[in-house]
């Protein structure tokens, strides 16, 4: 649920009264504001986080025959962006605690065809940038940061998105801040930023005429309407992130005594989390069947919970390419995750209701498992 205020609505309405609905002053204003916020030279706004990732891959010259290391525990766009350029995503397992790419496993996946690493700051938790960059330097690889879930997160006091060769953020309505639909490419490299600006606008060079095209480009433009919304959201980002952290702390305080859950860490050395979602994991004795039953039972009680993520390497479109791929941590984690209701306007009594309901269902499931009763079937009915 996006956090939309009257000022946001007014800003969008004001744009509709101008002649600049696309490629106008609000686009430049949003790009400048994002660049200033994360402290980077260039920000190029586009129509989605997926488009931003695709342009990152394209701008680095990755092409057919190349390999790119990616996590499987992520939104499918991270692999699709590689496939758009006919390159091959190589799936690597994740760390148990942060759910980010495991640097210890990245190096083993590198081959002579490897050109880049795409790391995802999963759920707003920064990846280990020191370890990843060290691997990339030693093997002469490029680094793409997928910060689509992590605007405002920091590693050693530095904003994510500023460590790699190029990075992407997304502003879909479920993100910390939103433009409705939208994303942005960020980089210190001026030449790369200029290329991305061409590519987002059908390959046009802004110094030439409207019908002069110097690159094979795309229609990845974002409207000034979206940008106006994003500017207002970005102006409030510190308060938004503080509120989201407070909600995460409320959940943690109410669930920390449960022996049947693994909670996301509130603090990790060297890192500042930007809370995108609050995802808990059921204990190891629970199966995906139990998780799915809990999801359905909570929904019957009017509480919407989600499953993050279905492993990409097990998706039908990727299964044949990765049939020899074994990612035990990814598969174990993905089968037991529960994303609890998490939005800025949620109230403390609602958090309490969610936690009480979850604890009751966990207790029931635990009793049934202990007694050996087969109360769970594939439909999720009890």
Q: Is-contact 27 45, C-beta < 8 A?
A: yes
Per-position b or e across 252-288, b if 16+ CB within 10 A of its CB: eebbeebebbbebeeeeeebbbbbbbbbbbbeeebee
Residue from 263, 262, 267 nearest 285 by CA: 262
- 307: Cα within 13 Å, side-chain hemisphere: 18
| Residues designated as active site | 175
Rounded percentage of the chain residues whose pLDDT exceeds 70: 94
pLDDT along the chain (382 residues), means of 10: 94 97 97 98 98 98 98 98 97 97 96 98 98 98 98 98 98 97 98 97 83 91 98 98 98 96 95 98 93 96 94 90 81 97 97 97 74 47 42
Show the tokens assigned to 320: 């044949």
For residue 306, give every residue at least 6 positions away whose Cβ sits within 8 Å of its Cβ, in sequence order, or none.
Answer: 277, 295, 338, 339
Between CA 139 and CA 109 the distance in angstroms is: 12
Count, in order, helices (H) and strands (E) of the chain.
Answer: 13, 13
For domain 238-371, give its CATH number from 3.40.640.10, 3.30.1340.30, 3.90.1150.10, 3.10.580.10.
3.90.1150.10
Show the tokens assigned to 82: 């590689």
So what's the pLDDT on residue 326?
87
- Per residue in 80-115, pLDDT (tens digit) is 999 999 999 999 999 999 999 999 999 999 999 999
So what's the pLDDT on residue 342?
98
Between CA 376 and CA 381 the distance in angstroms is: 6
Break the chain into its structural domains and give their ranges. Answer: 6-237, 238-371
Q: Is-contact 307 71, C-beta < 8 A?
A: no
For domain 6-237, give its CATH number from 3.40.50.300, 3.40.640.10, 3.30.750.24, 3.30.365.10.
3.40.640.10
Q: Is-contact 101 94, C-beta < 8 A?
A: yes
Single pTM value for the model: 0.94
């Amino acid at each position: 649920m996006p956090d939309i205020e009257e000022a946001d609505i007014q800003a969008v309405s004001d744009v509709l009264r101008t002649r600049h609905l696309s490629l106008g002053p609000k686009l430049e204003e949003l790009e400048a504001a994002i660049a200033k916020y994360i402290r980077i030279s260039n920000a190029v706004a586009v129509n989605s986080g997926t488009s931003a990732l695709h342009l990152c891959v394209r701008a680095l010259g990755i092409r057919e025959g190349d390999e790119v290391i990616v996590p499987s525990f992520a939104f499918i766009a991270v692999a699709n962006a590689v496939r758009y350029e006919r390159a091959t995503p190589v799936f690597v397992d994740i760390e148990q605690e942060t759910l980010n790419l495991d640097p210890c496993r990245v190096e083993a996946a590198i081959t002579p065809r490897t050109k880049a690493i795409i790391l995802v700051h999963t759920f707003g938790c920064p990846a280990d940038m020191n370890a990843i960059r060290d691997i990339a330097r030693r093997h002469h690889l490029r680094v793409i940061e997928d910060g689509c879930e992590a605007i405002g997160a920091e590693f050693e006091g530095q904003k994510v998105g500023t460590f790699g060769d190029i990075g992407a953020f997304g502003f879909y309505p479920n993100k910390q801040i939103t433009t409705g639909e939208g994303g942005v490419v960020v980089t210190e490299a001026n030449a790369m930023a200029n290329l991305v600006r061409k590519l987002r606008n059908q390959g046009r060079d802004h110094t030439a005429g409207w019908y002069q095209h110097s690159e094979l480009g795309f229609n990845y433009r974002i409207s000034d309407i979206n940008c106006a919304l994003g500017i207002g959201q970005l102006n409030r980002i510190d308060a938004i992130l503080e509120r989201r952290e407070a909600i995460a702390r409320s959940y943690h305080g109410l669930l920390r005594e449960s022996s049947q859950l693994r909670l996301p860490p509130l603090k990790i050395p060297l890192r500042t989390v930007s809370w995108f979602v609050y995802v808990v994991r059921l204990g190891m004795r629970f199966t995906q069947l139990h998780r799915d039953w809990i999801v359905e039972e909570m929904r019957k009680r009017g509480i919407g919970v989600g499953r993050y993520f279905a492993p990409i390497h097990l998706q039908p479109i990727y299964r044949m390419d990765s049939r020899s791929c074994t990612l035990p941590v990814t598969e174990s984690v993905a089968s037991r995750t529960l994303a609890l209701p998490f939005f800025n306007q949620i109230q403390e009594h609602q958090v309490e209701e969610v936690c009480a309901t979850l604890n009751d269902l966990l207790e029931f499931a635990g009793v049934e498992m202990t007694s050996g009763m087969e109360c769970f079937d594939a439909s999720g009915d009890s």
